[in-house]
Structure 1
Amino acid sequence: MNTPVWEGGGWPGLPKLEGSLEAEVCVVGLGGSGLSAILELLRLGRRVVGLDAGRVAGGAAGRNGGFLLAGLARFYHQSVRAYGRERARRVYQATLEQIERMARETPEAVRRVGSLRVAASSEELEDCEAHLAALRADGFAAWPYAGPEGEGILLPDDAAMNPLLRCRRLARKALEAGARLFEQSPALEIRWGEVRTPKGRVRCEGVLVAVDGRLEQVLPELEGRVRTARLQMLATAPIPPRFPRPVYRRWGYDYFQQLPDGRLALGGMRDREEAAEWTCSDEPTPSLQRRLEGWLEALGVRAPVTHRWAASVGYTPTGWPIAEEVRPGVWAIGGYSGTGNVVGARLGREVAWALCGQRMPGAVFLP
């Protein structure tokens, strides 16, 4: 079983690319970041072709925990230390604005419920206090929290979503706006002016590779700067309402949210088997799934497990995502270090402008 809880069926699928097409931009990867870029390019008046090796949001974009978190993978106070206060502040504000935009774009897929970061130790609780103080010092909303989930921080401007539903809604919008999108069409060759697939090719002026997991395989020059890991999750049958907002725990390694229909989607524990989880495989493993089941029991959840799944995601050593022109005319975005839902969507928009030779107003990731 490797089906995410988000899969409700009803997606008719898209054709494979066969033959030759021309476009101004070819986007490789039809996840959240790639679709965000496509819609921005369409708004900028460009002709766009989008390709995916599998299905729309078939990778991590449709197989993640459904968290919409402001900021980067590092917590805010850590980002201030790593990147400087002004840069961290601007990124946090930009991602807050991106969450607002995502809620407007796909209200049926997004729930504005905030999020919790809760501590699993006294040391982590001290870190939560430093996290809270840094956010408040820069004027961002954050409150101390103590409740059934534990002690930590309540972040009222975060949100939860159904990631697969959101991506499919974006794909439909892109098609309606004139984009040509193709599934089951892996990019075998990517170069300035052309992308080749098994049965077709796209001639174009620019290329965007919007891939998170396995990015270093698609673009080998990024080897060593981004590394693929497996994130595993499970979901249960419905339980009575207990958790009104998504929960991040144990330094972000563990996470869960209760869905509107009562099901609990829970994931994490990657650090418990870290060597095995640095892999390009996206198949769940019995040993880590047992760890997730143990956490379910610790939460007092007795409902049967109905779904198990995994996804490949990209990590960078610094926690800062990849966003650059890696070959002449070929841009890449990815390496979101496990928090790509918001950052990836924002980066897709910023790089869309860069592909048009412009700088997006308020850009924070690009020079």
Structure 2
Amino acid sequence: MNVPVWDDGSWSGLPRLEGDLEAEFCVIGLGGSGLSAIQELLRLGHTVVGLDAGWVAGGAAGRNGGFLLAGLAKFYHQTVLEQGRDLARRLYQATLEQIARMMSETPQAIRQVGSLRIAATAEELDDCQAHLEALQADGFAAEPYEGPEGRGLLIPTDAAFNPLLRCRMLARQALERGARLFEHSPALCISGQEVQTPLGRVRCRQVLVAVDGRLEQLLPELQSRVRTARLQMLATAPVERRFPRPVYRRWGYDYWQQLPDGRIALGGMRDAGGEAEWTTEAEPTQAVQACLEQLLSQQRIEAPITHRWAASVAYTPTGLPIAEEVRPGVWAIGAYSGTGNVVGALLGREAAWVLHGGRMPGAVWLA
């Protein structure tokens, strides 16, 4: 129970931090965004220590649905309306380029098969049309879709991936290049020059907190702008091939993909859980899991359920992520509102350049 389908049991683990270390930078959080930042800092020639309270990708980074979607949490036409066409277009293009970069970094973990946004109601189908028209108006690839999954739109540039495999590959690469990474080493006290853990301490020039769920607990300054929720998933034994692309349905509240071996990874139904799902607890619940089983049945999937799991993710009221200096010398990125796989990796790279003292070429968030 509470083991994601992505976990094949092959990770040998990393040591706890014991004693004092020095490095130019300390990165807290060994998920997709933190590891992306560490990789970029190493490329820029810096020394880095990375810490995680659990294990590599033990949070949402290794427990999500495995979608690589361009853009932000809100659909493209909504982003255009709220943020302006110029910024929306630059952000979308930057995430497209980030997907391509991720494919080049860890090709074994990623399949660029596109994604489907499927409407559950006539109102949502109208919104899919507005989404499609906005993407096409700005020259981005998208087309109307009607098929066994339903009606909506197809975005061919999106991808599906194994999130845990990718993070573990990045961690191994970082270790080979000289990064010092530690698991089960929670940050108890964070300043711009020092991070204390239960058994050790890192002295450094600056700190990057790259955490999604529970970000507001680690940095209480963000409590008025960040709120953590629980996302739940399940997976089945292999079934016949039915879903060549990941499916995003009912405004993103339901989502699933079929893995290369035929297993179905399905999640969502957070709204069915109501206020109880606004929690920092990350254990599956009977109520939401029952709804996920109903969704599975609605898709006519008949197979034993082999995995059930949950993860903590953070949301902001605007849907825009946190990306800022929250204390002198302490930067934070996170709160991706449920879609952090691409944006988080992009922000990790941009944050690394800020720590480096420059601006990443093409940066859209941190200049």
TM-score (norm 1): 1.00
Residue 202 of structure 1 is matched in structure 2 by 202
Residue 8 of structure 1 is matched in structure 2 by 8
Residue 88 of structure 1 is matched in structure 2 by 88
- SS at the partner of 2:195? strand
Residue 170 of structure 1 is matched in structure 2 by 170
1:175-254 alignment runs, 5 A limit: 175-254=175-254
- SS at the partner of 2:307? strand
State how far apart, in whole Å, the 1-side matches of 2:231 and 2:178 are.
34
Count of aligned positions? 367
1:115 aligns with 2:105: no
State how far apart, in whole Å, the 2-side matches of 1:283 and 1:346 are.
29
* 1:57 Cα deviation from its structure 2 partner: 0.2
State how far apart, in whole Å, the 2-side matches of 1:254 and 1:20 are.
45
Residue 269 of structure 1 is matched in structure 2 by 269
State how far apart, in whole Å, the 2-side matches of 1:298 and 1:31 are.
33
State how far apart, in whole Å, the 1-side matches of 2:192 and 2:88 are.
33
- SS at the partner of 1:243? coil
* 1:365 Cα deviation from its structure 2 partner: 1.2
- SS at the partner of 1:99? helix
| Sequence identity percentage | 75
State how far apart, in whole Å, the 2-side matches of 1:358 and 1:225 are.
27
Q: Give the unaligned 5+ runs of structure 2.
A: none
- SS at the partner of 2:20? strand
State how far apart, in whole Å, the 1-side matches of 2:356 and 2:104 are.
25
Residue 75 of structure 1 is matched in structure 2 by 75
State how far apart, in whole Å, the 2-side matches of 1:302 and 1:339 are.
28
Deviations 1:68-99 (A, max 9, x none): 00000000000001111000000000000000
* 1:311 Cα deviation from its structure 2 partner: 0.2
* 1:157 Cα deviation from its structure 2 partner: 0.1
Residue 22 of structure 1 is matched in structure 2 by 22
State how far apart, in whole Å, the 2-side matches of 1:224 and 1:245 are.
37
State how far apart, in whole Å, the 2-side matches of 1:218 and 1:315 are.
15
Q: Match of 1:155, as an amino acid? A: I
State how far apart, in whole Å, the 1-side matches of 2:243 and 2:23 are.
46
Residue 309 of structure 2 is matched in structure 1 by 309
State how far apart, in whole Å, the 1-side matches of 2:223 and 2:87 are.
26
Residue 99 of structure 2 is matched in structure 1 by 99
- SS at the partner of 1:251? helix
* 1:274 Cα deviation from its structure 2 partner: 2.4
Deviations 1:255-309 (A, max 9, x none): 0000000000000010112201000000000010000000111110110100000
Q: Give the unaligned 5+ runs of structure 1.
A: none
State how far apart, in whole Å, the 1-side matches of 2:278 and 2:151 are.
31
Q: Match of 2:341, as an amino acid? A: N
Residue 362 of structure 2 is matched in structure 1 by 362
Q: Match of 1:323, as an amino acid? A: A
Deviations 1:295-337 (A, max 9, x none): 1111101101000000000000000000000000000000100
State how far apart, in whole Å, the 2-side matches of 1:267 and 1:113 are.
19
State how far apart, in whole Å, the 2-side matches of 1:133 and 1:182 are.
46
State how far apart, in whole Å, the 2-side matches of 1:65 and 1:224 are.
28
Residue 292 of structure 2 is matched in structure 1 by 292
State how far apart, in whole Å, the 2-side matches of 1:82 and 1:8 are.
41
State how far apart, in whole Å, the 1-side matches of 2:192 and 2:294 are.
50
- SS at the partner of 1:325? strand
Q: Match of 1:28, as an amino acid? A: I
Name segments (4+ residues, structure 1) moved above 4 Å: none
